[in-house]
Structure 1
Amino acid sequence: MDVIPTHISTKRIKALLIFFCATLFLLSCGQEAKVSDISVHYEGNKGLSVHFKGFESPDYQIVTKENDTVPILGELNTEDTAIIFTPVIPFNNGGHYQILKEREVVGEFHIKESVPSIPPKVVAIYPKLDTVPENLLKMYIVFSKPMQEVRSSLEYIKVINLHTQKEEAIFLPLETELWNADHTELTLWLDPGRIKKDLIPNKKLGIPIKNGNSYEVILSKEWNDAEGSELAKEYRKKIVVVARDAKMPSVKQWKLTVPNADSKEALGIAFDELMDAMLIEKSIVIMDAQDQSVAGGFLTMGSPNSTLFIPKERWKKGTYTMVVQSSMEDLAGNNLNRLFDTDLQQEKKTKDSKTKTITFTIQ
């Protein structure tokens, strides 16, 4: 029997081990080269960036599956354990993409198809009436969908004085804009410093809108919602300015149209002047004889000088109390306690109250 020299056997074993280790190393390198946890970051219907886990390397490239020879222009960054590629132009909806490293495909991803988005609309602009007092304090814009928070809203609002045909800045620019929680309702203030007489802005710039003039408020079609869709169209509202409102509203002058018992008829409320329609539902509560609030809602029929309270349940016979927050305002910001343009240093003859009440009976 032939005997293999010991030194030859040892060499062969060492060679096999080296070959085996090299193979494992190459295989492991191939596996590690593949990226993982691929996810696309969307804003609305647009794919803005792709995130994945791999090695910190400038060698990654993103290409389309149809044309894998031309890399997409963009910026590659790292954040914690993720690598982020942001293209110069958002990814194409419905597109298939590959992630390359040293010209080898190490990952793939797909951009979802675009779902047609319903463009946002302006549901209402308050005050709804065209005629407003010279000392109008606020306007409101109500949208059908949440609107974007990227730029100042005043960039999309233009006001033209129809008497001079010049653009005028009547709204107060705010660092933090007054949106509701859903971002569907925007409150615009006409500059209070210009409305209040004897203040420096009033003396320097004058009142924002002037008695006898007409203005057109124009909302740009380029105003985007949170999904990036533009307004359905350009919106315009004309306002005709009349004399200053120097009257404080009074619940004693309000008139009620009382419904019948055992009915769901509306309770009619006629104010003594034009009120801030957006404050009505927040300011009035109907209480029954047991001091429980009556469930229901308010319907303001385009005019801020009246409203309807529609109950959820049938009215019962008895005495009811309408509780009104004294902070409720008219169009000029005059509330149930004081005029907006009031010298707060002067002593008042009457005491302020948190609420005012009206009692009525249903037969």
Structure 2
Amino acid sequence: MLRNLKTASLWLAALFAASSVAQACEESVSDTAQVTQVYPSADVLPENLLRFYVYFSEPMAREGIWDSVVLLDEDGKVVPGAFIENKFDLWSPNDRRLTVLFDPGRVKTGLVAHNTLGRALEPGKAYSLQIRSGAETRRGCTLTRSYEKTFVAAQADFEAPDLAKWHVQAPMANSTEPLLVTLNGPMDHVSLAYRVRVTDTAGAKLGGSLRLGRDEREWIFTPRAPWASADYRIEVDTTLEDIAGNRLTGLFDRPLDSDGYSQPGQKTESLTFKPRSN
């Protein structure tokens, strides 16, 4: 009898807690739990695309997220085995950015998974990355609506980032005009945020704000203080990646034993510019 009463009490407590969470979610400000951005932002993406980044408006629950993140083909069917479904390692520390990683074994040629299954994306076909409304937030609510990013797959990208092909539009001296760098293709936006910086002649990093232009093909830096009439450097870590995982040191698709991509240690390459006088 006592055991039955205790079980009933626990059941009622759990039901009350679930009801309280549901009520709190209903009473919260509308449209708070949603997908705010997905990168890459372009509508045409290479078949050897390595990852998506999904940004949420609030911290998400890590458990069960892969029940709500799927890749659909042009017939609306789920593409099986497209992503690596890691529960913990692919979240940002604040649980608001999820890295959706395509299975590297299928992306990279010469591996068993690639030879058996091929890539998840086929050139010329349309796809949709779908984040379903059942995805839960850390506070126990669900997304207010599903989100879809549609795109068309193109031929594989086998061009590595190359500073020799970057175009620098120098800003005006004694102003806070933005520095515009046009890149040789779409780059990984997280990589652009952390692996490119501007330094002065003494090697000190300049403070300022960063934004990315058209399809992550432009790096735009606005300094906190006006530009001096002096030389500056744009320093780029050689680990900078494009959206297919290619780096300054080589292609993602090269064999590991001959690819600088896999070598340890971090180096930098740089470009020099001087602000315009008129």
Distance 1:279 1:286 in 2: 15
Counterpart selection for 1:272 from 170, 184, 187: 184
CA positional deviation for 1:344: 2.2
* Amino acid of the structure 1 residue aligned with 2:53: Y
Alignment match, 2:79: 168
Unaligned runs of 5+ in 1: 1-57, 63-71, 76-84, 94-111
User: Do residues 87 (structure 1) and 13 (structure 2) align?
Assistant: yes
User: Do residues 135 (structure 1) and 48 (structure 2) align?
Assistant: yes
CA positional deviation for 1:132: 0.5
Distance 1:139 1:88 in 2: 36
Superposition map of 1:1-363 within 5 A: 73-75=8-10, 87-91=13-17, 93=20, 116-118=28-30, 119-151=32-64, 153-162=65-74, 164-169=75-80, 170-346=82-258, 354-362=267-275, 363=277
Which runs of at least 4 in structure 1 moved beyond 6 Å after TM superposition? none
Distance 2:108 2:66 in 1: 22
Alignment match, 1:109: none
Alignment match, 1:8: none
The percentage of counterpart residues that share the same residue type is: 25
Distance 1:281 1:236 in 2: 25
Q: 1:341 to 1:289 in 2, by over 3 A?
A: same
User: The residue matched to 2:106 in structure 1 has which SS?
Assistant: helix
User: The residue matched to 1:73 in structure 2 has which SS?
Assistant: helix
Q: Deviations over 1:299-334 (max 9, x none)?
A: 013521112101111111101011101111111100
Q: CA RMSD in A?
A: 2.7
Q: Deviations over 1:225-250 (max 9, x none)?
A: 11122212111111100111111110
Alignment match, 1:105: none
CA positional deviation for 1:137: 0.5
Q: 1:238 to 1:347 in 2, by over 3 A?
A: closer
Say whether the 8 Å CA contact 1:133–1:241 is kept in structure 2: yes
Distance 1:160 1:334 in 2: 25
Aligned residues: 267
Say whether the 8 Å CA contact 1:328–1:335 is kept in structure 2: yes
Distance 1:314 1:165 in 2: 52
TM-score, normalized by length of structure 2?
A: 0.88
User: The residue matched to 1:193 in structure 2 has which SS?
Assistant: helix
Say whether the 8 Å CA contact 2:63–2:87 is kept in structure 1: no
Q: 1:201 to 1:267 in 2, by over 3 A?
A: same
* Amino acid of the structure 1 residue aligned with 2:36: V
CA positional deviation for 1:213: 1.0
User: The residue matched to 1:231 in structure 2 has which SS?
Assistant: coil
Alignment match, 1:104: none
* Structure showing greater relative contact order (alpha-carbon pairs closer than 8 Å, 6 or more residues apart): 2
Say whether the 8 Å CA contact 1:130–1:238 is kept in structure 2: yes
* Amino acid of the structure 2 residue aligned with 1:89: L
User: The residue matched to 1:208 in structure 2 has which SS?
Assistant: coil
Q: Deviations over 1:55-100 (max 9, x none)?
A: xxx59x79xxxxxxxxx9333xxxxxxxxx972402465xxxxxxx
Alignment match, 1:101: none
Structure with a larger share of its residues in helix: 2
CA positional deviation for 1:175: 4.5
* Amino acid of the structure 2 residue aligned with 1:74: S
Distance 2:66 2:176 in 1: 43
Say whether the 8 Å CA contact 1:281–1:297 is kept in structure 2: no
User: The residue matched to 2:258 in structure 1 has which SS?
Assistant: coil
* Amino acid of the structure 1 residue aligned with 2:175: S
